[in-house]
C-alpha cells in the first residue's frame, strides 16, 4: 500500500471520527436542553372566560386546552386537567393563554368577591324557591325574568329575555301572613340572587320587583324567549291567540 493511500485512509478515519464526535456533542447538548426544560402538560385558557362562569359552561364552550410548557415556565399550582374544576365557578376574569390555577375558581354560590362585567351593573333581588326554579339556578347561569303585575287587571309577561346570574346568597326563611283560620302559615325559603344588567334593565328590574312578582326562567340551550308574545291576563289566560 502506497504512502499516499495510507495518508488518504488516515484522513478519512479522522474525518469520520470528528463527525461522530460533533454529532455526539450536539446530541448531548440537545438532551441537556430537553432535560433542563423538563416539559409538562398544563391546562390553559383558550379564550376569555368571564367571572361567574361555571366550569360546565366554560367546558361546553371549549374554553380550555392542553399546552406543553417548560418546567421553569410553569405557574405554581397550575392544573394539568379539569378534574378539580367540576362544580366550580370562576371568581375572576381568565384571559386567553393563562395557565389555570385552582384560585381562579370557587364553590358555586360562594364566590368571595363579586366580579361585575365591565359594561354592566349588579342588582340583587329576593326570590322564593319556586320563583328561582327551586334552587336549580347557579352563579354563571343565564336566565329569563318574567314579571307578574300585582295591580288591578295585572298581567304576566317577559321582562328580560336573558340575564347573567353573578352570585347566589344564603337561603333564608321569610315568615308569611296568617292563614284564613288564624294559624301561622309556613315560612317560605327565599334566596337573594345578584344579576348583571345594563342601566335601563336595572331600572326595569327595580321597578318590577317593587310593583309585582319576579320569576326566573332557566333557558334551554337553543331557546330564546320572545318579547313579542303578548302579556297573559285573566281575559286571555285560556285563549292566548
Same-domain check for residues 126 and 205 = yes
| pLDDT higher at 52 or 146 | 146
Q: Is residue 13 part of a domain?
A: no
Q: Is residue 89 part of a domain?
A: yes
Instruction: Please give the pLDDT value at position 7.
Output: 58
Same-domain check for residues 173 and 137 = yes
Q: Is residue 3 part of a domain?
A: no
Which structural domain range is residue 151 located in? 121-218
Q: d(Cα 33, Cα 205) in Å, to the nearest integer?
A: 60
Q: How many domains does the chain have?
A: 2
Q: Is residue 68 part of a domain?
A: yes
- pLDDT tops 70 at residue 175: no
Weakest-pLDDT range from 7-21, 47-61, 79-93, 220-234: 7-21
Alpha carbon of residue 99 to chain centroid: 15
CA angle 32, 38, 41 (to 5 degrees): 150
Q: Is residue 129 part of a domain?
A: yes
Same-domain check for residues 46 and 128 = no
CA-to-CA dists, residue 154 to 167, 176, 231, angstroms: 30, 22, 9
Cell 370562576 belongs to residue? 90
Q: d(Cα 163, Cα 141) in Å, to the nearest integer?
A: 8
Alpha carbon of residue 115 to chain centroid: 12
Same-domain check for residues 53 and 100 = yes
Averaged confidence pLDDT in the chain: 77
Same-domain check for residues 126 and 101 = no
Same-domain check for residues 146 and 212 = yes
- Secondary structure class of 233 (helix, strand, coil): coil
Same-domain check for residues 143 and 85 = no
pLDDT tens-digit readout, 49-82: 887 788 889 999 999 999 998 877 787 788 998 8
Same-domain check for residues 98 and 163 = no
Q: d(Cα 213, Cα 159) in Å, to the nearest integer?
A: 11
Q: Are the C-beta atoms of residues 91 and 105 closer than 8 Å to each other?
A: yes
Instruction: Please give the pLDDT value at position 178.
Output: 45
Give the residue from 63, 57, 166 showing the smallest Cα distance to 120: 166
Same-domain check for residues 127 and 101 = no
* Domain CATH code at residue 88: 3.90.1210.10
Q: What is the pTM of this model?
A: 0.50
Instruction: Please give the pLDDT value at position 199.
Output: 94
Same-domain check for residues 136 and 96 = no
Average pLDDT over residues 175-190: 52
Weakest-pLDDT range from 8-22, 56-70, 76-90, 197-211: 8-22
**φ, ψ of residue 234 in degrees (nearest 5):** -65, -30
Instruction: Please give the pLDDT value at position 148.
Output: 92
Name residue 174's beta-bridge partners.
188
Same-domain check for residues 125 and 148 = yes
Instruction: Please give the pLDDT value at position 77.
Output: 81
CA-to-CA dists, residue 106 to 52, 75, 92, 169, angstroms: 9, 19, 10, 14
CA-to-CA dists, residue 151 to 31, 144, 148, 156, 210, angstroms: 79, 22, 9, 11, 11
Amino acid at each position: 500500500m502506497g504512502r499516499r493511500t495510507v495518508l488518504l485512509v488516515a484522513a478519512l478515519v479522522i474525518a469520520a471520527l470528528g463527525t461522530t464526535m460533533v454529532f455526539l456533542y450536539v446530541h448531548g447538548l440537545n438532551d441537556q436542553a430537553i432535560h433542563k426544560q423538563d416539559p409538562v402538560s398544563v391546562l390553559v385558557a383558550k379564550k376569555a372566560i368571564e367571572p361567574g362562569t361555571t366550569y360546565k359552561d366554560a367546558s361546553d364552550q371549549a374554553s380550555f386546552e392542553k399546552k406543553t410548557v417548560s418546567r421553569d415556565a410553569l405557574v405554581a399550582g397550575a392544573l394539568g386537567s379539569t378534574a378539580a374544576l367540576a362544580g366550580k365557578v370562576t371568581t375572576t376574569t381568565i384571559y386567553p393563554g393563562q395557565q389555570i390555577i385552582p384560585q381562579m375558581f370557587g364553590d358555586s354560590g360562594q364566590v368571595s368577591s363579586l366580579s361585575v362585567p365591565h359594561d354592566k351593573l349588579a342588582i340583587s333581588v329576593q326570590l322564593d324557591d319556586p320563583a328561582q326554579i327551586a334552587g336549580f339556578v347557579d352563579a354563571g347561569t343565564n336566565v329569563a325574568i318574567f314579571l307578574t303585575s300585582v295591580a288591578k287587571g295585572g298581567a304576566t309577561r317577559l321582562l328580560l329575555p336573558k340575564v347573567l346570574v353573578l352570585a347566589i346568597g344564603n337561603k333564608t326563611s321569610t315568615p308569611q301572613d296568617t292563614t284564613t283560620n288564624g294559624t301561622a302559615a309556613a315560612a317560605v325559603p327565599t334566596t337573594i340572587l345578584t344579576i348583571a344588567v345594563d342601566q335601563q334593565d336595572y331600572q326595569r328590574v327595580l321597578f318590577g320587583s317593587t310593583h309585582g312578582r319576579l320569576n326566573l326562567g332557566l333557558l334551554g340551550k337553543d331557546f330564546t324567549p320572545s318579547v313579542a308574545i303578548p302579556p297573559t291576563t285573566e281575559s286571555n289566560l285560556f285563549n292566548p291567540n
